[in-house]
Amino acid sequence: GVAVPQPIAESCNELCARQCPDSSALIQPPPVVVTFPGPILSSFPQQAVVGSSG
């Protein structure tokens, strides 16, 4: 499973989400976590973002 590329993994996740609703709940957390850094990083100056990412 780990050896499978990301694109294929994403497609598998979509199929699993359709088959079992429980898996969809597990897929939700990642996007939510990505949403927090967006506004937080945007509030800080670009220099701070570059420093943290580097």
* Per-domain boundaries in the chain: 6-53
The pair of structure tokens assigned to 35 is 């949403």
pTM: 0.15
What is the spatial distance between Cα 51 and Cα 10, in angstroms, rounded to a whole number? 30
Segment 5-43, tens digit of pLDDT: 555 545 545 554 455 555 444 555 444 444 545 555 555
Burial class (CB in 10 A: 0-12, 13-18, 19+), 17: middle
pLDDT the model gives residue 48: 52
